[in-house]
């Protein structure tokens, strides 16, 4: 009865853009052991040690209920092209648009049925997605779903709704195609993806520098910055993403005046309504606007 109930509740949000998988919370203990073992057997950088030892949540006491299941949800990204024009130059990019309503809707459904339900970002999301059968790792250390490529958000929740026995759990695995391909390794602009290990060197991954509010480090050639949002170099050469990237149909053009506002570091409250409408279409969060200026400046400084 219980496990059917959990599935029924989650199925209210599942559609062709949203997939879900479930695990009993005890399975997280198995994953935790694997993760902590990593700390002993792998050369982890400071970021990875910090995540494994201090960020990942394995103790749920603060949530005020005893969780019985973990629900992992994958929400397909809609890819929307963007162009920025400034002083005669035009640079292109794209944005991964999410579906902001999913988290609130899930919480509402579970709460209305008498269960506790909490979203937790700091769970090992890719590992949960892969071990529950929702996704597979790619060589670039992000997760892939057949037909969606790597363009989706992972969401992880705990609930006291029981999971039952009808779930799948497997060892983490990488897509077979990655054994021979190596395209992401070759195309990584900072050589963060290593041929001899599945973990990337996350501290030199361009995304990290692009997403950070800090100025670019001196060693980083600004000419490799190509996105206001992160880095796509390992994803845009991936054969598993070819189809999804070919399907981009909508593009939002930011005019000279709008691009100038971004370059000046304007906050949301400084933007005219027509521009707010565009960034809301993309679901661009405020912290993205904070890093926009430095990233756009680097993109626009490149020769045409």
100 and 283 Cβ atoms separated by less than 8 Å? yes
Residue with smaller CB distance to ligand B12, 270 or 286: 286
Q: Which of 150, 159 has the CB closer to ligand B12?
A: 150
The per-residue b/e assignment along 203-239, b for 16 or more CB within 10 angstroms, e otherwise, is ebbbbbbbeeeeebeeebeeebbbbbbbbbbbbbbbe
**In terms of CB distance, is 40 or 165 closer to ligand B12?**
40
Please give the distance of CA 297 from its chain centroid, rounded to a whole number. 24
Contacting positions for ligand B12 (CB under 6 A)? 34-35, 38, 48, 51-52, 121-127, 137, 140-143, 150, 152-154, 172, 174, 198-200, 202, 205, 207-208, 211, 229-231, 234
Q: Which is nearer to ligand B12, 238 or 261 (CB)?
A: 238
Determine the straight-line distance between the first and last CA of the chain, rounded to whole angstroms. Answer: 62
- The H or E element spanning position 259 is helix 256-263
Tokens 């991964």, located at residue: 96
Closest approach of ligand B12 to the CB of residue 114, in Å: 28
The residue whose Cβ lies closest to ligand B12 is 230
- The least CB distance from residue 182 to ligand B12, in Å, is 14
Shortest distance in whole angstroms from residue 191 CB to ligand B12: 12
For residue 48, the tally of other CB atoms under 10 A from its CB is 18
Residue that has been written with the tokens 């990290």 in this structure: 208
Question: C-beta of 198: minimal distance to ligand B12 in Å?
Answer: 4
Closer CB to ligand B12, 6 or 200, in the complex: 200
User: Going by C-beta distance under 8 Å and a sequence separation of 6 or more, which residues neighbour residue 93?
Assistant: 81, 82, 83, 84, 226, 227, 228, 229, 299
CB of 258 to ligand B12, least distance (A): 22
CB nearer to ligand B12: give 153 or 160.
153
Q: Are 120 and 55 contacting, i.e. CB atoms less than 8 angstroms apart?
A: no
Which of 233, 278 has the CB closer to ligand B12? 233
Question: CA 167, CA 92: separation in Å to the nearest integer?
Answer: 43
User: How many C-alpha atoms does 9 have within 13 Å on its Cβ side?
Assistant: 27
Give the nearest distance from C-beta 107 to ligand B12 in angstroms: 17
Is residue 73 within 8 Å of 18, Cβ to Cβ?
Answer: yes
Question: Least CB distance from residue 218 to ligand B12, whole Å?
Answer: 19
Q: Which is nearer to ligand B12, 126 or 261 (CB)?
A: 126
Least Å distance between CB 199 and ligand B12? 5
3-state secondary structure of 254: strand
């Amino acid at each position: 009865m219980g496990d059917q109930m959990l599935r029924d509740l989650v199925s209210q949000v599942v559609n062709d853009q949203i997939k879900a998988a479930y695990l009993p919370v005890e399975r997280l203990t198995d994953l935790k052991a694997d993760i902590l073992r990593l700390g002993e057997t792998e050369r982890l950088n400071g970021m990875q040690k910090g995540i494994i030892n201090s960020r990942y949540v394995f103790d749920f006491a603060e949530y005020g209920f005893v969780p019985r299941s973990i629900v992992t949800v994958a929400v397909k990204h809609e890819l929307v092209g963007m162009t920025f024009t400034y002083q005669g130059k035009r640079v292109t990019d794209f944005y991964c648009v999410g579906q902001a309503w999913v988290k609130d809707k899930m919480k509402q459904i579970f709460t209305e049925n008498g269960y506790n339900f909490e979203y937790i970002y700091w769970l090992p999301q890719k590992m949960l997605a892969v071990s529950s059968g929702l996704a597979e790792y790619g060589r670039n250390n992000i997760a892939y779903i057949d037909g969606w490529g790597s363009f989706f958000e992972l969401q992880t929740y705990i609930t006291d709704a029981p999971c039952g026995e009808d779930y799948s759990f497997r060892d983490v695995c990488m897509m077979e195609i990655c054994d021979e391909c190596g395209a992401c390794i070759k195309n990584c602009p900072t050589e963060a993806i290593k041929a001899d290990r599945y973990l990337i060197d996350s501290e030199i991954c361009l995304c990290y520098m692009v997403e950070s509010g800090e100025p670019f480090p001196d060693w980083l050639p600004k000419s490799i910055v190509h996105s206001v949002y992160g880095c796509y170099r390992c994803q845009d050469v991936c054969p598993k993403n070819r189809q999804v990237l070919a399907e981009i149909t909508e593009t939002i053009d930011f005019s000279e005046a709008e691009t100038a506002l971004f370059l000046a570091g304007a906050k949301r409250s400084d933007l005219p309504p027509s521009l707010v409408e565009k960034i809301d279409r993309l679901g661009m969060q405020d912290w993205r606007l904070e890093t926009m200026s430095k990233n756009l400046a680097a993109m626009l400084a490149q020769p045409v």
